[in-house]
Every structure is written in structure tokens, then in C-alpha cells.
Amino acid sequence: MIEISNNSGIISVETSAKNKITLDTSNFEVQIDNLNVVHAWEFEKSGILLEVKSYSDKLFYSFTIDSKHLVIITDDKFELKEEILSFFWDVDVLIIKWSKESAKIFENIEARVVVPYWEWQSSFLTTLGQHIEEVKSFKVKWDFSIDSTEFVNLA
């Protein structure tokens, strides 16, 4: 299980082992347990496997936590090609910067839980017919349906 929360633009993902992954939505900086992730690489920290891919001069993040995949997309201005789409395989939790441009990205990723952030977050949810209440935090239990997508509206 993980818990996702938003505290003044800092999206935090806390694992059951108390490891913390953070995304600062003002500068799109990603950290894992206070380690800045600023390069494309692969490593394991505290039982979490992290793969960072560089594509179109942007970084994309894939975390494996308890054999589940959490993907963070911090930019919406890149061309969708097989090279990057294959990086987004079998996504359990997708944290995505939401804008008009990222609609194509979202449509090409089958995620089980989607956490949008950014200025278009509310209109994104409304467009998809999701009239869900804002929450301060959301606990993701790993027993979700593989046939549907759950949306989270973080306050």
C-alpha cells in the first residue's frame, strides 16, 4: 500500500516501509528519500527500484514498489513514439502533469490509478465525467481492478 498526498504543491508518495518519493510541482524536481533524481539511470533504494529515462531532453520516472509500477510524468511536450510508450508498460499508478497537451499521453497509457496535477486538473476530471471530491491524501491498495481506472483529485 502507498499513500499519496499533496502539501502546497509537493506531491508525496509514502510506502508502507515509510520510504518517501516526492515531486515538487513548481520545479518538477523528483526525490526519493531526499535524494534528488536529476539524471537518467537505474538504481534501487530501500527496496524501491527506480528507472529514469531521458527522452526528448526530458526525464520520465518509473518506480517499482512491491512489484507495482508508479510512473511520474512531469512534462507534456514530447512526441509519442514507441521508444517512450514502451517505458510506460503496465502502469498501476500514474502521476501526470495535466494540460490540454497531455491528453494524448494519458490516452496511450492504461493506468489503474491516475493522479493529475497542474492548472487543468479539474477540467481534466470533468471532461472524463469524473466528478470526484478533492481529498488531502489517498491510500492506494494494491487490490484494484485491472479493468477500470480510478481517478484521484488531490487538494
What string of pLDDT tens digits covers the 155 residues of the chain? 899 999 999 999 999 999 999 999 999 999 999 899 999 999 998 889 999 999 999 999 999 998 899 999 999 888 888 889 889 888 999 999 877 777 778 888 889 998 988 765 666 666 666 667 888 999 998 777 777 888 888 88
CATH code where residue 133 lies: 3.60.15.10
**Distance from C-alpha of 35 to C-alpha of 54, rounded to nearest angstrom:** 18
Q: How many domains does the chain have?
A: 1
- Domain residues for 90? 2-151
**Distance from C-alpha of 61 to C-alpha of 88, rounded to nearest angstrom:** 9
Distances in Å between the Cα of 146 and the Cα atoms of 47, 79, 105 are 24, 27, 19
Supply the pTM of this predicted model. 0.90
C-alpha cell at position 18: 515509510
Per DSSP (E only), the strands in 1-155 are 2-7, 10-15, 20-24, 29-32, 35-37, 41-45, 48-55, 58-65, 68-73, 91-97, 111-117, 137-140, 150-151
Q: What is the pLDDT of residue 113?
A: 92
Q: What is the pLDDT of residue 151?
A: 83
Q: What is the pLDDT of residue 137?
A: 95
Q: What is the pLDDT of residue 129?
A: 63
Q: What is the pLDDT of residue 80?
A: 85
